[in-house]
Amino acid sequence: MTATGVPQAYVTGWKGFYRREFAVNEHVLVPRPETEHLIEDALEFMRTPGRRRVLDVGTGSGAIACTIASEVSDAIVTASDVSLPALIVAARNAARLGVAERCTFALADIAPEGEDGYDLILANLPYIPSADVPQKPDPVGFEPRLATDGGGDGLDEYRKLLARAPSLVHAGALLLMEAAPPTIIGLLTLAQATFPVAAITVHRDYAYLERYVRIATR
Ligand SMILES: C[S@@+](CC[C@H](N)C(=O)[O-])C[C@H]1O[C@@H](n2cnc3c(N)ncnc32)[C@H](O)[C@@H]1O
């Protein structure tokens, strides 16, 4: 960060994520290295032939969507966001990285209507409880509130995703949802209630913090 707290990436306009540079501005969350754990898990899953259709919920800069499209040459990615300025950044990143033809960017709450049958859903939705969202000069305070504020208990957007998730995927699909220690047990409980027969696990990051919930549907 800079002396004023502004994230360095907003000053340079760039942030590295999983071996690529992403253009960023104040309309998107600065991609975090912790999110690369979801990428690793997703890439392993996508190695099985026939798994192609991917949904990135809350794409922001497009870091997740563009990385999956870049690493998996036949992946077809839909990336949603409720922020039009964020989608413009994401679409530009896809064009620059040469994956625009296999990425669709949709202004949508969780997911475009009428689409289903995804093999893989990745989501890094806002998960900080409203009262805990850091304020300036904390660097997170410079990031879009839409990207950080998860409502009263931090799980408002994940509740919306899980309400729709069963109709978005088929048996054998994978869902990866990023959160952080204060909210991850709540997210795990929601996931278990939504997918009672799925294999659901919590995974940690390199700092040994609980980082994402993994749902393998049956
Ligand atoms: C934490 S940021 C993650 C950005 C990016 N996926 C990443 O990992 O760097 C969350 C993003 O979700 C978007 N968002 C918030 N609520 C949403 C919703 N209901 N449907 C789709 N996107 C949403 C925000 O605008 C923001 O871009």
Render pLDDT for 65-106 as a digit per residue (tens, 0 to 9): 999 999 999 999 999 999 999 999 999 999 999 999 999 999
Confidence tier at 200 by pLDDT (50, 70, 90)? very high
Does some domain include residue 64? Answer: yes
Assigned token pair, 141: 């305070």
What rounded mean pLDDT belongs to the chain?
A: 97
In whole angstroms, give the CA distance from residue 74 to residue 62: 18
CB of 80 within 6 A of ligand 1: the answer is yes
Ligand 1: centre distance to CA 116 (Å): 20
Q: According to the model, what pLDDT value does residue 3 have? A: 79
Å from CA of 144 to ligand 1 middle:
10
* Cis peptide, bond prior to residue 134, ω within 30 of zero: no
Number of domains comprising the chain: 1
What is the CB neighbour count within 10 angstroms for residue 52? Answer: 15
Pocket test for ligand 1, best of 30, 88, 124, 140 (most atoms within 8 A of CB): 124
**Which pLDDT value is given to residue 155?**
98
Within-domain flag for 120: yes
| Closest atom of ligand 1 relative to the 35 alpha carbon | 8
Q: Which residues pair with 214 in a beta bridge?
A: 176, 201
If you measure from the C-alpha of residue 148 to the centroid of ligand 1, how many angstroms do you get, rounded to a whole number?
8
Phi, psi of 207 (to 5 degrees): -85, 5
Q: Length of the chain in residues, anyone?
A: 218
How many angstroms separate the Cα of 55 from the Cα of each of 58, 79, 176, 188? 10, 6, 10, 20
Domain assignment present for residue 2? The answer is no
User: What's the CA gap between 55 and 21, in Å, rounded?
Assistant: 21
The whole-number pLDDT of residue 2 equals 78
Task: In whole angstroms, give the CA distance from residue 99 to residue 197.
Answer: 35
Structural domain containing residue 170:
8-216
164-179 burial, b if ≥16 CB within 10 A, otherwise e?
bbeebbeeebbbbbbb
Predicted TM-score of the model (pTM): 0.98
Q: What gap in Å lies between CA 38 and CA 54, rounded to an integer?
A: 13
In a domain, 44, yes or no: yes
CATH (domain of 28) = 3.40.50.150
pLDDT tens-digit profile of 207-218?
999 999 999 999
The closest-lying atom of ligand 1 relative to the alpha carbon of residue 32 is: 9
Residue 1, domain member (yes or no):
no
Residue 58 to residue 96: CA distance in whole angstroms = 20
Element housing 91 (H / E): helix 84-96
Classify residue 3: in a domain, yes or no. Answer: no
- Distance CA(209)–CA(162), nearest Å, equals 23
Rounded distance between C-alpha atoms, residue 103 and residue 99, angstroms: 6
- What is the secondary structure of 103-121 as a DSSP string? EEEEE-SSS-TT---EEEE
Q: For ligand 1, is residue 86 a contact (CB within 6 Å)? A: yes
Residue 58 Cα to ligand 1 middle (Å): 3
Whether 87 is covered by a domain: the verdict is yes
66 CB within 6 A, ligand 1: no
Q: For 174-181, what is the mean pLDDT? A: 97
CB of 122 within 6 A of ligand 1: the answer is: no
Residue with tokens 């253009």: 23
Compute the distance from residue 113 Cα to the ligand 1 centre, in Å: 17
Residue 210 in domain: yes
| Percent of the chain whose pLDDT exceeds 90 | 97
Q: Give residue 123 CA to ligand 1 midpoint distance, Å.
A: 8
- Ligand 1 atom at shortest distance from the alpha carbon of 65: 6
